């Protein structure tokens, strides 16, 4: 069986500074991995490298996604191939209604996958299934994408997009930040509903709290541009207790940060 994702010795720079310094990580089909780590460790950078964002330059290493060299794909091709990034800070698109955005995105992805595009009626049908469970109002769908959305609405909207686009690999970047406990539960329920044997997830978080609701198979600590430690879900609890103190200093053998 091929793995969902194999990252080998990945080095990446942003604005001329190396942020990822030999990161390796393997995610199997259907697995949920959590990445934790101090602020500025490079968690978001990893998510951008996976999605192919300009300015995040890979200097060495490899990423194989479902058996394919990921670097050969443009951003939108990766999206169509099933990589979804839930944004830490979802972007506002004034004037573009959420419905229009969701339909345009879904059809763009379907087209690239060689499937039939949906007409307005088929689309609304599919949309309704998800808006209900995620508690997304019609008013939200009419408004400009993320414009005037509360923190919780923005994150629910991200999960809605993930549900519609049906990715193989979902990278969720601090989906819990800025959420109160009720909002967190709605989002976590939404994510859990999408767990399945062919869908893998990389859940990035700073806090252990989210992992009470989205229980991971593996927990990794990202520090100094590498996976500094890997464990089961109990690692998250340990980090909660001790903090990231032990990762604050450069590990032996690496250059000073």
Contact residues toward ligand ADP (CB under 6 A) are: 14-15, 17, 19, 37, 39-45
- Segment holding 231, helix H or strand E: strand 226-231
Q: How far apart are CA 141 and CA 131, in angstroms?
A: 9
Answer whether 49's CB lies under 8 Å from 58's CB. yes
Cα separation values, 44 from 20, 76, 160, Å: 11, 18, 21
Q: Which is nearer to other proteins, 87 or 218 (CB)?
A: 87
Distance in Å, CB of 35 to ligand ADP, minimum: 9
Answer whether 34's CB lies under 8 Å from 211's CB. yes
Q: Are strands 169-173 and 218-223 parallel, antiparallel or unpaired?
A: unpaired
Q: Which is nearer to other proteins, 91 or 121 (CB)?
A: 91
Q: Which does 139 bind (CB under 5 to 8 A by kind): ligand ADP, Mg ion, other proteins, none?
A: none
Q: Which does 14 bind (CB under 5 to 8 A by kind): other proteins, Mg ion, ligand ADP, none?
A: ligand ADP
Q: Which residues bind other proteins (CB under 8 A)?
A: 51, 53-54, 74-76, 79-80, 84-85, 87, 90-97, 100-101, 104-106, 108-109, 112, 144, 161, 165
Q: Which is nearer to ligand ADP, 45 or 146 (CB)?
A: 45
Q: Looking at residue 42, what DSSP letter applies? A: S
Distance in Å, CB of 1 to other proteins, minimum: 27
Q: Which does 245 bind (CB under 5 to 8 A by kind): Mg ion, other proteins, ligand ADP, none?
A: none
The stretch among 2-10, 36-44, 123-131, 186-194 that binds Mg ion (CB under 5 A) is 36-44
Q: Could you say whether residue 44 binds Mg ion (CB under 5 A)?
A: yes
Distance in Å, CB of 57 to other proteins, minimum: 15
Residue with tokens 């007409």: 119
User: 244, exposed or middle or buried, with CB in 10 Å at 0-12, 13-18, 19+?
Assistant: middle
From the list 170, 8, 4, the residue with the least C-alpha distance to 85 is 170
Q: How many C-beta atoms surround the C-beta of residue 241 within 10 A?
A: 8
Q: Which is nearer to other proteins, 95 or 253 (CB)?
A: 95
Q: Which is nearer to ligand ADP, 43 or 220 (CB)?
A: 43
Q: Which is nearer to Mg ion, 80 or 204 (CB)?
A: 204
Cα separation values, 148 from 96, 133, 140, Å: 13, 22, 9
Distance in Å, CB of 174 to Mg ion, minimum: 6
Give the residue closest to Mg ion by C-beta: 44
| 104 Cβ neighbours under 8 A, 6+ residues apart | none
List residues binding Mg ion (CB under 5 A): 43-44
């Amino acid at each position: 069986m091929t793995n969902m994702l194999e990252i080998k010795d990945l080095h990446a720079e942003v604005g001329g500074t190396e942020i990822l310094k030999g990161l390796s990580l393997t995610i199997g089909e259907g697995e949920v991995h959590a990445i934790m780590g101090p602020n500025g460790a490079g968690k978001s950078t990893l998510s951008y490298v996976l999605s192919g964002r300009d300015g995040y330059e890979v200097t060495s290493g490899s990423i194989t996604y479902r058996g394919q060299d990921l670097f050969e794909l443009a951003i939108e091709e990766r999206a169509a191939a099933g990589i979804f990034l839930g944004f830490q800070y979802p972007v506002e698109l004034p004037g573009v209604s959420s419905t229009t955005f969701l339909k345009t995105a879904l059809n763009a992805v379907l087209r690239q996958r060689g499937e039939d595009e949906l007409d307005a009626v088929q689309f609304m049908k599919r949309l309704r299934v998800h808006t209900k469970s995620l508690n997304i109002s019609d008013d939200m769908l009419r408004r400009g994408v993320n414009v005037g959305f509360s923190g919780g609405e923005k994150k629910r909207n991200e999960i809605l997009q993930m549900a519609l686009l049906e990715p193989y690999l979902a990278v969720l970047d601090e989906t819990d930040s800025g959420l109160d406990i009720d909002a967190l539960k709605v989002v976590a329920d939404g994510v859990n509903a999408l767990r399945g044997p062919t869908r893998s997830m990389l859940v990035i978080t700073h806090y252990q709290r989210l992992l009470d609701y989205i229980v991971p198979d593996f927990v990794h600590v990202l520090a100094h541009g590498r996976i500094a430690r890997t464990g089961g879900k109990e690692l998250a609890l340990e980090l909660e207790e001790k903090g990231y103190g032990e990762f604050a200093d450069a590990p032996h053998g690496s250059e000073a940060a």
